[in-house]
Amino acid sequence: MKYNELLQAYFDRSGALQWYWTIYILVIGGVLAFSAFRQHKEIVTTVLVIILYGCFAYKNLGAIGATLMERQAILSAIKEYPATGPDAADIKRVRDVLEPVLTSQEYEGVRNFHVACDFLTIAFLLAREWRRGKPELRS
């Protein structure tokens, strides 16, 4: 794989990572909006939403983790790429400017943030359900 292909792969994985976070935030917003606009207690609905959200969050964290590991592997390959051959001067010039700003995130920090947001979301759902009024009897 050429140096420019490695850089392209790194930024492709960065874009994928950003999309996973965007989808995650949109789902949290949707779940919270759904909960906020319901007016009556519905324990079964709340439990179902929590279970479905938990499944989504678990799979989303897995996708984020896998993409993060791919990006870290590509970053390692970029840093270890030999600057030899006819493109050596170009590679060195790009490396000197770009590589210092290519960052690596630790999975544990990302996981902890994700799980904390998951717990806060579920806590909000439970708090909203607890504070919600009882259903009215219709005649």
- How do residues 50-102 score in pLDDT, each as one tens digit? 999 999 999 999 999 999 999 999 999 998 888 877 888 888 888 889 888 88
The number of domains in the chain is 1
Rounded to 5 degrees, what angle do the CA atoms 36, 37, 41 make? 80
pLDDT of residue 138: 59
In a domain, 137, yes or no: no
In a domain, 11, yes or no: yes
Burial (CB < 10 A; 0-12, 13-18, 19+), residue 59, is: exposed
Q: Residues for the chain: how many in total?
A: 139
Predicted TM-score (pTM) of this structure:
0.83
Looking at the chain, the whole-number percentage of residues with pLDDT higher than 90 is 59
Residue 139 lies in a domain: no
Instruction: Specify if 136 maps to a domain.
Output: no
- Please check whether residue 29 lies inside any domain of the structure: yes
- Give the structural domain span for 48: 3-131
Alpha helices in 38-83 (DSSP H): 43-80
pLDDT at 3 over 70: yes
pLDDT for res 96: 87
98 Cβ contact partners less than 8 Å away, ≥ 6 residues apart = 7
Q: Is residue 138 part of a domain?
A: no
Higher pLDDT, 106 or 38: 106
Q: What is the phi/psi pair of residue 104, to 5°?
A: -120, 130
Q: What pLDDT does 32 receive?
A: 94
Q: What was the pLDDT predicted at 91? A: 83
Judge whether 89 lies within some domain: yes
